[in-house]
């Protein structure tokens, strides 16, 4: 009986070892897949975040420049509206001033 138990334990040990090796191989495959999934998610995040960060860095100076130009043009228009009675002339002058400012940049 002892020998029979010994053989049975050996068989169970071999089966257990084989199953453990299979599980280990599955775990390796899963880890590899998880690595690639995480890497791809970081790349996606970088693709989305990079333009947003660049926009936040680039946009405020441009908006400030646009606002300064608008204020200068509006002051000039205010002076023109006080001196001119023809509204179509004001529109033409406004467009002309705006084009000059845009072309100078």
**Alpha-carbon gap, residue 76 to 83, rounded angstroms:** 11
- Per domain, the residue ranges of the chain are 2-104
| Assessment of whether the complete model's pTM goes beyond 0.85 | no
Residue range 43-82, pLDDT digits in tens: 999 999 999 999 999 889 888 988 888 888 888 777 766 6
**Between the CA atoms of 83, 89, 90 and 94, what dihedral angle is there, to the nearest 10 degrees?**
-130
Q: Is the dihedral of CA 12, 13, 19, 20 positive or negative?
A: positive
Q: pLDDT class for 2, splitting at 50, 70, 90?
A: confident
Q: pLDDT class for 13, splitting at 50, 70, 90?
A: very high
C-alpha distances (whole Å) from 85 to each of 70, 73, 82, 96, 104 are 22, 18, 8, 18, 29
pLDDT at position 89 is: 65
């Amino acid at each position: 009986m002892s020998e029979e138990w010994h053989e049975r334990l050996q068989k169970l040990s071999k089966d257990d070892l084989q199953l453990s090796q299979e599980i280990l191989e599955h775990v390796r495959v899963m880890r590899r897949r998880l690595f690639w999934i995480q890497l791809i998610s970081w790349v996606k995040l970088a693709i989305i975040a990079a333009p947003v960060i660049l926009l936040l860095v680039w946009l405020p100076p441009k908006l400030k420049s646009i606002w300064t130009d608008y204020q200068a043009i509006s002051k000039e228009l205010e002076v023109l509206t006080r001196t001119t009675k023809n509204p179509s002339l004001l529109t033409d002058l406004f467009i002309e001033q705006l084009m000059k400012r845009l072309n100078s940049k």
